[in-house]
C-alpha cells in the first residue's frame, strides 16, 4: 500500500508522545549497533528531536564512545522506543550520518544549534574522561562548557528506512510496517502482531 503523501509514521510518533507531554523520560529509547564482527550492542539514548522534512531522528553522543567506532564501520542502527503512556512501540532501522567537529555548512550549524539546546549539565558530560576507559582517581575536569560544541560532541542523524509500529491498546494488537522505497516513497503494510 503506497503512501507517498505523508510519512504517516511521523504523525503517529507525535500523537503517541502527546500523553507524556513534559515527561523527559518518554524520549528514552534503545539504540543498537554492531561491531566489525557483527556482534550486537545496545544502549539507552535520548531522542533529541525529529526533522519532518527529512525524516530524521536526532541523538547526541560522545565521539569517544564505542557506538561511534561501530558506526564508522557500519553506519546503520536499530532503535527501539516504547511509549508507556500510549502503549505503543516503534522500532526503527536505518542509516546514520555522524556530525562531528569536522562537519561543515548546514550540518555544522545543526550540530551547534543542537548543542545550544542542551542543558549545561548535559553539555558538561562531554568534558568527562573517555567513556568505557578505566576509571582513575582524581577530580573531573569540569569547567563551564563553552557556547560552541566541544570536540567530543557528535550529533547522530538517523534516517529510518523501516518503521515497525505496534499498538497494544486494542485486542488484537495492531502492527504496521512502513518501508521506504528507492524513490523516497513510504509504503504501509498492516501485518499480524
Ligand atoms: C536514561 C539514559 C539516557 C542516556 N542517554 C544517552 C544519550 O542520549 N547519548 C549517549 O551517548 N548515551 C546516553 N546514555 C548512556 C548510554 O546508555 C551508554 O552507556 C553510553 O552511550 C556508552 O555506550 P557505548 O559505549 O555503547 O557507546 C544514556 C543512558 C541512560 C540510562
Q: Is 67 in the pocket of ligand 1 (CB under 6 A)?
A: yes
Residue 75, class by beta-carbon neighbours within 10 Å (0-12 exposed, 13-18 middle, 19+ buried)?
middle
Q: How far is the CA of 114 from the centre of ligand 1 (A)?
A: 17
Distance 44 CA to ligand 1 centre (A): 5
Q: What is the pLDDT of residue 145?
A: 72
Mean pLDDT lowest for which of 91-95, 99-103, 134-138, 176-180?
A: 134-138
Task: Provide the CATH number for the domain formed by 8-191 in this structure.
Answer: 2.30.110.10
pTM for the model stands at 0.94
Tens digit of pLDDT for each residue in 60-117? 999 999 999 999 999 999 999 999 999 999 999 999 999 999 999 999 999 999 999 9
CA Rg, the chain, in Å? 18
pLDDT, tens digit (0-9, with 9 covering 90-100), for 142-169: 666 788 999 999 999 999 999 999 999 9
Q: How far is the CA of 28 from the centre of ligand 1 (A)?
A: 10
115 Cα–ligand 1 center, Å: 16
pLDDT at site 143: 67
> Which cell numbers in the block locate residue 28?
528514552
| Range with lowest mean pLDDT among 11-20, 35-44, 134-143 | 134-143
Ligand 1 atom nearest 61 alpha carbon: 11
Residue found by looking up cell 503512556 in the block? 85
Q: What stretches of 103-155 show up as alpha helix (H) in DSSP?
A: 105-116, 120-124
At residue 68, φ and ψ (nearest 5 deg) are -65, -45
Give residue-wise pLDDT tens across range 11-29: 889 899 999 888 999 999 9
Nearest CA among 159, 152, 178 for reference residue 58: 159
* Contacts for 146 with CB less than 8 Å, ≥ 6 apart: none
Q: Is the Cβ–Cβ distance between 158 and 79 less than 8 Å? A: yes
Kindly state the cell numbers that stand for 82: 516504547
Q: What helix, strand, coil percent values describe the chain, rounded to 5?
A: 25, 40, 40
**Residues 85, 58, 156, 64, CA torsion sign:** negative
Residue 5 — very low, low, confident or very high, per pLDDT cuts 50/70/90? very low
Q: Is 175 helix (H, G, I), strand (E, B) or coil?
A: strand
Task: Read off the pLDDT band of 4 (50, 70, 90).
Answer: very low
Q: Is any atom of ligand 1 closer than 6 Å to the C-beta of 28? A: yes
Residue 186 CB partners (closer than 8 Å, separation 6+): 2, 3, 4, 7, 8, 9, 178, 179, 180
Q: What is the reported pLDDT for 149?
A: 95
Phi, psi of 111 (to 5 degrees): -60, -45
Q: What is the mean pLDDT of the chain?
A: 92
Amino acid at each position: 500500500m503506497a503512501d507517498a503523501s505523508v510519512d504517516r509514521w511521523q504523525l503517529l510518533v507525535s500523537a503517541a508522545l502527546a500523553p507524556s507531554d513534559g515527561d523527559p523520560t518518554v524520549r528514552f529509547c534503545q539504540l543498537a549497533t554492531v561491531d566489525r564482527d557483527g556482534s550486537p550492542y545496545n544502549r539507552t539514548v535520548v531522542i533529541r528531536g525529529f526533522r519532518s522534512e527529512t525524516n530524521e531522528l536526532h541523538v547526541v553522543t560522545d565521539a569517544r564512545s564505542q557506538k561511534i567506532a561501530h558506526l564508522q564501520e557500519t553506519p546503520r542502527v536499530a532503535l527501539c522506543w516504547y511509549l508507556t503512556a500510549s502503549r505503543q512501540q516503534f522500532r526503527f532501522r536505518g542509516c546514520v550520518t555522524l556530525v562531528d567537529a569536522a562537519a561543515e555548512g548546514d550540518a555544522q550549524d545543526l550540530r551547534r544549534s543542537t548543542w545550544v539546546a542542551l542543558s549545561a549539565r548535559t553539555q558538561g558530560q562531554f568534558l568527562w574522561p573517555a567513556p568505557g576507559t578505566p576509571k582513575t582517581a582524581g577530580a573531573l575536569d569540569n569547567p563551564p562548557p563553552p557556547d560552541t560544541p566541544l570536540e567530543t560532541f557528535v550529533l547522530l542523524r538517523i534516517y529510518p528506512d523501516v518503521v515497525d509500529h505496534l499498538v497494544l491498546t486494542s485486542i488484537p494488537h495492531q502492527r504496521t510496517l512502513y518501508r521506504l522505497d528507492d524513490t523516497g516513497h513510504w509504503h504501509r503494510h498492516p501485518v499480524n502482531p
